Amino acid sequence: MKRPAARFPATPGRDTGGAGPAGDSGCDENWAGERRFAIRCSALLLALFLVVDGGSGHLTALRAVVWTALTVLLFVVLLPARVSAGEDWIASRELLRERTVRTDRLVSVRWSDGVAQRLVLRDLDGDSVEVDPRVLVANPRLWHLLDRGARTSLGRGTLLYGATEMRQLAQRVERDAAKTVFKVSGLI
């Protein structure tokens, strides 16, 4: 689902076209640092490949292309999805696509199976988004926007599956916030 610019602003502070206050949106504040990390790791590995291969006298144009392709693949794997949210929507932008769901029209929230735990959100339109719960824990604004939309869905009766998952995530966010408060105050 493409996100209409006037209804779902991608950038905090952008004109919302009457959809709510401009400041009522947020994005993953740690994403830029994680992107820099992915770039640095990939560049470092490419440099290492080229130096070692060049030092051994085996570097050819074909091998340089192979090493470059491998490091581009590493970059794609390391680059996290960029999560943003606003009044009644949450989006996850990956390298080649962006997915958006309406949080005020959620029908299910569930944990995905697999090694990397993800929260899978699905709305009435059939659109779905996978979000790393660590992003929500690290960005209370995103969590607040998601929680508010999910509560609206629960109140409307559209959220049929996922109240337990939302409670589990809420406890995790609150626990992390309490730890942060204790650390800042010197109690831990």
Q: Classify domain 104-184 at the CATH topology level.
A: OB fold (Dihydrolipoamide Acetyltransferase, E2P) (2.40.50)
pLDDT-derived band at 176, boundaries 50, 70, 90: confident
Q: What is the DSSP string of 96-114?
A: S-EEEE-GGGEEEEEEPPS
Kindly report, residue by residue over 53-103, the tens digit of the pLDDT. 999 999 999 999 999 999 999 999 999 999 999 999 999 999 889 999 999
Stronger pLDDT, 125 or 2, i.e. the higher one: 125
Distance of CA 106 to the CA centre of its chain: 18
Pairing of strands 89-93, 98-101: antiparallel
**Residue ranges per domain, the chain?**
31-78, 104-184
Query: Is 0.85 topped by the overall pTM?
Result: no
d(CA 110, CA 47): 41
Task: Tell me which DSSP letter residue 128 carries.
Answer: E
d(CA 50, CA 64): 7
- Token pair, residue 59, equals 């570097």
Kindly report, residue by residue over 10-58, the tens digit of the pLDDT. 433 333 333 434 457 788 888 888 999 999 999 999 999 999 999 999 9
